[in-house]
Chains A and B, each alone.
Chain A
Amino acid sequence: MPDQSLIQVEHLYKEYYTDAGSVPVLKDVNLEIRKGEFVAIMGPSGSGKSTFMNILGCLDLPTAGRYVLDGRDVGTLQKDALAGLRNEVIGFVFQGFNLLPRANLVDNVALPLVYAGVDKEERRRRSEELLAKVGLATHGHHAPNQISGGQQQRVAIARALINKPRLILADEPTGNLDTSTSEEIMKLLSDLNQHDGITIVLVTHEPDIAAHAGRMVQFVDGKVTHDGAITHGGIEGVQA
């Protein structure tokens, strides 16, 4: 199992078109991520790591190159099929939590199941189960603005988990949180990786956070400049 490829990226290019001409953001990125890996993507602002994450999340399409996710060539899929892929395979955790402000926590967590066509009773049951798992069993009927940032991020993780994804994409999940809360969130993610075997790709610019991962990929100027295992005691040969 751990050797099976979940993400395969070959010769990936991304250009943005502006009035001043095209701006290349990703230049020939090649990467393979196997099932069960925990990968941290690092790099300075403008290095293309967020663009890369958007493409991994099927939120954006590459200009050129091939991206195979869970055996499906993303480039060949239509809009609705991409939505289905995001719904079934991927769980998103954002820096800004991105919960729906008007919905309570149970409904927020259950939201992906609405689009998966799961009935109301089942949605509710699974949502409450996952809220319990992230330690918020008693908060189900609160609104997102009634709980702390760390709690909101845990709700977001519960939402990411609800449709049993194979991949969690976390874009700076601790960027808005203090150090101790960040640690809690990272522990939760590590746990999901180790106990539930969920593949996690994490974007961060904090080495402490990246240290929870098993592998580190460094982007500089649209290219992968480093790709290697993380050993205890730090990341070798890289400055954040």
Chain B
Amino acid sequence: MISAMVSEAWRAMSANRMRAFLTMLGMMIGVAAVIMMLAVGRGTQYAVEQSIAAMGSNLFIVLAGSQTTTGVRIGTGNAPTLVAADADAIAELPEVAGVAPISPGSAQVVYGSNNWGTIATGTTASYIDVGNWKVEEGEMFSDADVRSASRVVVLGQTVVKNLFGDESPVGKTVRISQSPFTVIGTLASKGQSLDGRDQDDTVFIPLVTAQRKVFGNNFRGAVRFIMVKATSAQAMPAAEEAMTSLLRQRHRLTDRRPDDFTIRNLTAAANTAAATTKAMSLMLGAIASVSLLVGGIGIMNIMLVSVTERTREIGIRIAIGARERDIRLQFLLEAIFLSLIGSVVGVAMGVGAAAIANAVANLTVVVTVGSILLAFFVAAAVGIFFGYYPANKAAQLKPIDALRYQ
């Protein structure tokens, strides 16, 4: 019975190939659009998640200077308010898992006849862990290197590429601000940050070395900012509070004076970015699914035409013994056929378009099995939903009226 109806549905469709194709085209475009849009959204989300993972989790950044910018304020730049000792004190807090004081500055790195302008990051050994970096080759410098202000350097991948090409840099000597530094390690690539900065375009040098020998800072022990990693996401509010009171105490600020530092929650900002891309992804999907709806209406439209055209046929079928459900099933099958074939081709089109976008436009486009299944089942449901009304209309026809229809 079902097989007879399937072949009947097939016959009805092949009788009007152009019409069936155009109806299916609506479904194809709808499904392809949903898959493509979800893939673009997912891709963006994926890129953001990657950046966040690369950045590390539960991070604060403590910056020297005040957030308030009204009036002239001594201290900003000229009188740095954060020192390495502040970092050591923060590290003692129970809510804090790690700290890395950072003193960056631009530096020209020279190797042989090559030179490359980059950011020299003066820091401590713990920055590897706090900043979620990985050492690719060699090793990170130690706390002893920091204390003794050794001339050692760990290179980011962009610097490696520009100075050494394919050569292995570990053990080689480079010059930074005229001083020779021994390369003891290289960093694994991290890619772009959320704001599009190339995070691999840097070199790490011991904090004390940077302060005394590279940047020639007048203020001993001053650092530009301190990165702080909290023990967990739950501990972050407590950690922020503890750091604030600790630093106010250490800086001897009376109640009437504002903070001379700023604590920023990097993870919260990142989560906002992730939530934004997620919302964007959902919105893209929602817009695309409107085209599925339009495709469904197309199916309903053509099925209504088909029922009207075949009124007499329906009458014959009813006369010779078709029950209501037989007629309904027959037309429903036809609508499902249209939407299913449309969605299968649409899935292929969507996946193909995503592959092309990946290859040609260099977009991060991620097609998930979930999005394919979603588009497919929504399309099938649309077919059933919009096919039901015409099918039911056919099933409700009165046999004598249908037989008399010319």
Q: Using Cβ atoms and an 8 Å threshold, which residues of chain A touch B4?
A: 114, 120, 123
In chain A, positions 110-128 with a C-beta closer than 8 Å to chain B are 111-112, 114-117, 120, 123
User: In chain A, residues 60-111, which have Cβ atoms closer than 8 Å to a Cβ of chain B?
Assistant: 60, 79-80, 83-84, 86-88, 92, 94, 98-103, 111
Q: Does B248 contact A (CB under 8 A)?
A: no
**B321: which of A54, A86, A101, A102 is its contact (CB, 8 Å)?**
A86
In angstroms, Cα B241 to Cα A26, docked, is 95
B279 close to chain A: CB less than 8 A: no
Most buried by A among B313, B317, B320, B399: B320
Q: Please name all residues of chain B whose beta carbon is closer than 8 Å to the beta carbon of A60 when the two chains form the complex.
A: 398-400
Taken residue by residue from 374 to 403, chain B's Cβ proximity to chain A (1 for < 8 Å, 0 otherwise) reads as 000000000000000000000000111001
CB-based nearest B residue for A50: B400
| Measured CA separation A9–B14 after assembly (Å) | 46
Given contacts A98-B312, A120-B3, contact A86 B320 (CB under 8 A): yes
Within the assembled complex, what's the spacing in Å between the Cα atoms of A87 and B322? 8
Main secondary structure of the interface of A (DSSP, over half): helix
Find out whether the CB atom of A112 lies under 8 angstroms from the CB atom of B320. yes
Bound-complex Cα distance A178 to B11 (A):
33
In the assembled complex, which residues on chain A have CB atoms less than 8 Å from the CB atom of B323? 79-80, 83-84, 115
Whether B400 lies near A111 (C-beta < 8 A) is no
Specify which chain A residues have a CB less than 8 angstroms from the CB of B1 in the assembled complex: 114-115, 117
- Specify which of A84, A92, A103, A116 is in contact with B11 (CB 8 Å cutoff): A103
**Could you tell me the distance between the alpha carbons of A8 and B337 in the complex, rounded to whole angstroms?**
46
Minimum Cβ distance to chain A for residue B330 (Å): 10
Of chain B, the residue at the smallest CB distance from A112 is B320
CB of B258, distance to nearest CB on chain A (Å)? 84
- Asked if A57 is an interface residue, CB under 8 A from chain B, the answer is yes
- Do A115 and B403 touch (CB < 8 A)? no
Number of A residues whose C-beta is below 8 Å from B? Answer: 29
B318 at the interface (CB under 8 A from A): yes
B320 x A92 contact (CB < 8 A): yes
Q: What total of chain B residues lie within 8 Å of the partner, measured CB to CB?
A: 26
Asked whether B319 lies within 8 Å of A59 as measured between CB atoms, the reply is: yes
* A59 & B321 in contact (Cβ 8 Å cutoff): no
Nearest chain B CB to A92's CB is how many angstroms away?
5
B12 within 8 A of A: yes
Among A54, A88, A117, max chain B CB count under 10 A is at A54
A-contacting residues, B296-335, CB 8 Å: 312-313, 315-326
- Report the bound CA distance from A100 to B315 in whole Å: 11
Quick check: is B361 within 8 A (CB to CB) of the other chain? no
B15 within 8 A of partner (CB): yes
Residue from B315, B321, B400 with most neighbouring chain A CB atoms (10 Å): B321
The residue of chain B having its C-beta at the shortest distance from the C-beta of A99 within the complex is B316
Known A54-B400, A98-B403, A102-B12; contact A115-B319, beta-carbon cutoff 8 A: no
A83, A87, A102: the one contacting B15 at CB < 8 Å is A102
Interface assignment of A223: CB less than 8 Å from any CB of chain B: no
- The residue that A159 contacts in the complex, of B15, B320, B324, B398, with Cβ under 8 A, is B320
Q: Tell me, in angstroms, the Cα distance from A163 to B399 when the chains sit together.
A: 20
- Chain A nearest Cβ from B50, distance in angstroms: 56
Contacts of B315 in A (CB 8 A): 98
Nearest CB of chain B from residue A159's CB, rounded to whole Å: 7
Q: What separation, in Å, do the CA atoms of A83 and B321 have in the docked complex? A: 4
Q: What is the distance, in angstroms, from A33's C-beta to the closest C-beta of chain B?
A: 20
Task: Check B318 against A83 for contact (C-beta < 8 Å).
Answer: yes
Q: Which residues of A are found within 8 Å of B8, using beta-carbon distances?
A: 103
Known A54-B400, A59-B403, A120-B3: A115·B324 in contact at CB below 8 Å: no
Q: Is the CB of A79 within 8 A of B324?
A: yes
A59-B317 contact given A79-B324, A115-B322, A120-B3, CB 8 Å threshold = no
The 8 Å CB contact of B319, one of A86, A88, A116, is A86
Known: A59-B400, A80-B323. A100 touches B15 (CB 8 A): no
- Asked if A100 contacts B313 (CB within 8 A), the reply is yes
Chain A hits for B325, CB < 8 A? 80
CB-nearest residue of chain B to A92: B319
Supposing A100-B313, A120-B3 touch, asked if A115 and B320 sit within 8 A by C-beta, the answer is yes
- Whether the pair A111, B317 counts as a contact (CB closer than 8 A) is yes
Which residues of the other chain, B, contact A102 by a CB distance below 8 angstroms?
11-12, 15
B313 touches A116 (CB 8 A): no
Within 8 A of A (CB), among B314-370: 315-326
Q: A83-B322, A86-B321, A120-B3 are in contact. Are A98 and B316 (CB under 8 A)?
A: yes
- Smallest distance from the beta carbon of A131 to chain B beta carbons, Å? 17
How far apart sit A83 and B399, CA to CA, in the bound complex (Å)?
10
- Chain B residue, CB-CB nearest to A59: B399
Return A57 CB to nearest CB of chain B, in Å.
Answer: 7
* A98-B403, A102-B11 given; A57·B320 CB < 8 A: no
Q: When chains A and B are docked, how far (Å) is the Cα of A51 from the Cα of B15?
A: 34
Q: Which residues 2-17 of B sit at the A interface, judged by CB distance below 8 A?
A: 3-5, 8, 11-12, 15
**How many Å from the CB of A136 to the closest CB on chain B?**
19
Closest Cβ neighbor of B396 among chain A residues:
A79
Interface string of A21-43 (1 = CB under 8 A from B): 00000000000000000000000
Quick one: given A60-B400, A102-B11, are A116 and B321 in contact (CB under 8 Å)?
yes
Given contacts A60-B400, A80-B325, 5 further A-B contacts (CB under 8 A): A83-B318, A83-B321, A86-B319, A92-B320, A115-B1
Residues of B participating in the A interface, judged by any CB pair closer than 8 Å: 1, 3-5, 8, 11-12, 15, 312-313, 315-326, 398-400, 403
Q: Would you give 28 A-B contacts (Cβ < 8 Å), ordered by A?
A: A54-B400, A57-B319, A59-B319, A59-B399, A59-B403, A60-B400, A79-B323, A79-B324, A83-B318, A83-B322, A84-B321, A86-B319, A87-B320, A87-B321, A92-B320, A94-B403, A98-B315, A100-B316, A102-B12, A103-B11, A111-B317, A111-B320, A114-B4, A115-B1, A115-B317, A116-B321, A120-B3, A120-B4
